[in-house]
Amino acid sequence: MPRPLIGIVSNSHMINDTYAVQAVGDMNIEAVAEVCDALPVLVPALPKAAGIEDLVDSFDGFIFPGGRPNVHPAEYGEEPTPAHGDFDTNRDAVALPLIRACVDVGLPVLGICRGFQEMNVAFGGSLYPEIRDLPGRDNHRMPPDGTIEEKFAMRHEISLTPGGVFSRIFGSDTVMTNSLHGQGIKVAGKRVVIEGHAPDGTPEAIHIAGATGFALGVQWHPEYRAGEDMVSRPLFAAFGAAAAAWSQGRRQPAREIA
């Protein structure tokens, strides 16, 4: 039986500051191939490359991974400032409507870091440009120096809603995660349910209310050592199971995700 086909939405990148490419991190590819037991395919964040309907009809699930550019604040009714950083409006034009279209039909989606923020904006939510500038909040950005292991090290605990989707997936109401983000949820979207918080109150895990399929997002980066980490592995495994069910024509109700 063919493995499920999972699209990983890419990021714009420049090679030698001259050659434009679309890129997806190896960590995301490996997590899909090895933990989801699915076939990873790069989805270019270029609106002219493929229509939303074509994408929905072609894949069994989508991952919206992290990326350095941020969602343009015009997407949630605010003016850009230097604190908002760089933008990739092409990715906005693909990711935001694709998330809504997938949720509409029950196609599995997993948002990671920027993808988590995209899920919130897609349903009418807004973002803070810089979490560390808020009173009482911690610095959630990655350390500027050090090895990959040091950058992706466990940074803080996350408290989950008891009995919620994430609590059932992880088998616990608390988990330890890395932290590599600058922005974060300001106002949750209309259907966005926050199920996890960092110790400083920053939202870290969400699901989309009323979704008929897997529609979860996390602010951290579970793709790092996904096959080994006790939090990452069950998350990708649950997403992979949902994609396999879709591939076989069996929509998996949200209540059956865990």
**Residue ranges of the alpha helices (H) in 31-77?**
52-58
CA atoms within 13 A on the CB side of 57: 5
Nearest to 237 by CA among 210, 216, 207, 211: 216
Q: Which of 75, 113, 140, 195 is catalytic?
A: 113
Please name the residues in contact with 227: beta carbons below 8 A apart, sequence gap of 6 or more.
Answer: 30, 31, 34, 35, 233
- Residue identified by tokens 């009173």 is 135
Active site residue 223: yes
Token representation of residue 54 = 């074509």
**Residue ranges of the alpha helices (H) in 83-202?**
89-105, 114-122, 148-151, 165-170
Q: Which of 72, 140, 207, 221 is catalytic?
A: 221
Asked if residues 63 and 32 have their Cβ atoms less than 8 Å apart, the reply is yes
Active site residue 221: yes
Active site residue 118: no
Please name the residues in contact with 28: beta carbons below 8 A apart, sequence gap of 6 or more.
Answer: 8, 40, 63, 65, 112, 223
Torsion over CA: 235, 100, 113, 42 (sign):
positive
**Residue ranges of the alpha helices (H) in 80-231?**
89-105, 114-122, 148-151, 165-170
SS3 44: coil
Q: Which of 75, 130, 195, 223 is catalytic?
A: 223
The dihedral over CA atoms of 53, 54, 57, 59, expressed in degrees to the nearest 10, equals -120
The residues that are catalytic are 113, 221, 223
